[in-house]
A and B are shown apart, each in its own frame.
Chain A
Amino acid sequence: MAVLQPASHGRAREKEVMDMDRAQLLELFKKTASEIAEKDFADVGEDSVIASMGVDSLAMLEVVGEMERELTIQVPDDQLVGLETVRQLLDMLEKRITA
């Protein structure tokens, strides 16, 4: 199952990932975050503030790590700074997917 492997250099990103639309990305975030934080995030939207979702900074890094694996991307750490809303996080992930 390719999606479980860490992103490897030189391997073409899965077409499903490249074709993922914004709504699917939001769903993936909600699913990943609720598994890690063990909370229900049905009401979470792009304007939600991550800190007020009860996701602490360690859990946030775990969420990013899990999404990196799913999306076969690697996020540079400097891009993790100053992410407050879900929208900012998804914007950043989208940039990495198309990079």
Chain B
Amino acid sequence: MTSTQAEIEVSYDVSNDFFRLWLDEAMHYTSGSYLTGDETLEQAQIQKAEILADYAEVTPESFVLDIGCGWGSNLEFLATRRGVKRARGITLSTEQCEWIHQRGVPGVEAVVCDYAKHEPEEPYDALISIEMIDHLCSPDQATKGMAVELYRAYFQKTASWVKPGACFGFQAILRNRVPRSRKDLEDLAFTADVIFPGGLNPRLEELVQAVNPYWEVLELRTQRTSYGKTTAEWLRRMRLHEAAIRETFGDPIFDDYDRYLSTCVRAFERHWSSDVQMKLRKID
């Protein structure tokens, strides 16, 4: 693991109330899936959760693990919309975990745990993980050529938790083309250092390499423009609350997140970043 607990807390423990002001109601902090382009953010988030639950072949009887479950938005979707009776999430953030327990959705359970230390008491039927893998390799480790090995360790570990033939609905933010201007490079570096310390988005080809020999890629779809729309909507909603955010959380928080989200919008528009969803099946 490279994003340490302290680094994770920088990213996610600013304050639950801050994120509530601009994320959708269920608090998905990842790309939604816009299929027509006319949906609301809320609908796009539900569509994302549907795609991944279908990829994971979730049924009401499935024992499901969500790796890096955030504020439990996907767990809640599984329990309330798919009738899943046992949906468990793991996260490194204590604030997120407490939040999930307070919501008290029947069938949903969350644990603060590093994925690398997780040992389930019985195998899962299905896995889902939404944009957590970008915490597993730091920029320094990537420079040293360690990315594929770190991702592979994750895919090996996760494959050891499931029943034969189980499926994994996987989503990751990607890096693609490196910008060529200093200002753009500095904005991206700012996002990495200030908002998500220790993190780095994988490249698509690294992931395709790393799933082998543990998982077979059955389906793969990218959704760069969906992430552009998601981040543009987050930015729009955050700006609506500018005065309140400045007053309650301070100017640096507003300014940092404004810069971060604006950089994201440009990153998806200009192909610096993208997003991928994969349906993986365990190779037995």
Q: Which residues of A contact B (CB under 8 A)?
A: 58-59, 61-62, 64-66, 68, 77, 80
Please determine whether B178 and A80 come into contact, CB atoms closer than 8 angstroms.
Answer: yes
- Asked if A64 contacts B182 (CB within 8 A), the reply is no
Given contacts A58-B185, A58-B186, A62-B180, 16 further A-B pairs with CB under 8 A are A58-B182, A61-B178, A61-B179, A61-B180, A61-B185, A62-B182, A64-B180, A65-B179, A65-B180, A65-B181, A66-B180, A68-B180, A77-B176, A77-B177, A77-B178, A80-B178
Q: Which residues of B are found within 8 Å of A65, using beta-carbon distances?
A: 179-181
Binary CB contact string for chain B from 135 to 178 against chain A (1 if under 8 A, 0 otherwise): 00000000000000000000000000000000000000000111
A-B residue pairs, 4 tightest by C-beta: A65-B180, A58-B185, A77-B178, A58-B182
* B270 vs chain A, min Cβ distance (A): 11
Listed A/B pairs (5) with beta-carbon separation below 8 Å? A58-B182, A61-B180, A62-B181, A65-B179, A77-B176
Q: Smallest CB–CB gap between B191 and chain A, Å?
A: 15
Hey, which chain B residues are within 8 Å of A77, CB to CB? 176-178
Give Cα A62–Cα B178 distance, bound, in whole angstroms: 10
B22 to chain A, nearest CB (A): 30
Q: Are B178 and A59 in contact (CB under 8 A)?
A: no
Query: Bound complex: CA of A65 vs CA of B185, how far in Å?
Result: 12
State the B residues within 8 Å of A (CB): 176-182, 185-186
Residues of A contacting B181 in the complex (Cβ-Cβ under 8 angstroms): 62, 65
Main secondary structure of the interface of B (DSSP, over half): loop
The chain A residue sitting closest to B186, CB to CB, is A58
Cβ contacts under 8 Å, B186 to chain A: 58
- A59 near B177 with CB under 8 A, answer no
Chain A's nearest CB lies how many Å from the CB of B170?
23
Most buried by A among B179, B180, B182, B185: B180
Contacts of B176 in A (CB 8 A): 77
When chains A and B are docked, how far (Å) is the Cα of A4 from the Cα of B182? Answer: 18
In the bound complex, CA of A75 to CA of B244 (Å) = 45
A58 to B190, CA, bound (A): 14
Separation of A61 and B179 alpha carbons in the complex (Å): 8
Give the interface centre of A58, A59, A68, A77 by most chain B CB atoms within 10 Å.
Answer: A58
Q: Which residue of B lies closest to A67 (CB)?
A: B180
- The residues of A that contact B185 with a CB separation of less than 8 Å are 58, 61
Cβ of A68 to closest chain B Cβ, rounded Å: 7
Closest to B175 in A: A77
Complex Cα gap A61–B178 (Å) = 8
Chain B: CB-nearest residue to A76 = B177
Bound state CA distance, A64 and B185, in angstroms? 13
User: Which residues of chain B have C-beta atoms less than 8 A from A80's C-beta?
Assistant: 178
Q: With a CB–CB cut-off of 8 A, which chain B residues contact A66?
A: 180
A62 to B183, CA, bound (A): 10
- B160 to A: closest C-beta gap in Å: 31
Q: Determine the chain A residues whose CB is within 8 A of the CB of B179 once the complex forms.
A: 61, 65
Nearest neighbor of B178 in chain A, beta-carbon distance = A77
CA distance A80 to B177 in the complex (A): 11
A91 to chain B, nearest CB (A): 20
Tell me the minimal C-beta distance from B199 to chain A in angstroms.
Answer: 19
CA distance A68 to B179 in the complex (A): 12
In angstroms, Cα B181 to Cα A64, docked, is: 10
CB of A66, distance to nearest CB on chain B (Å): 8
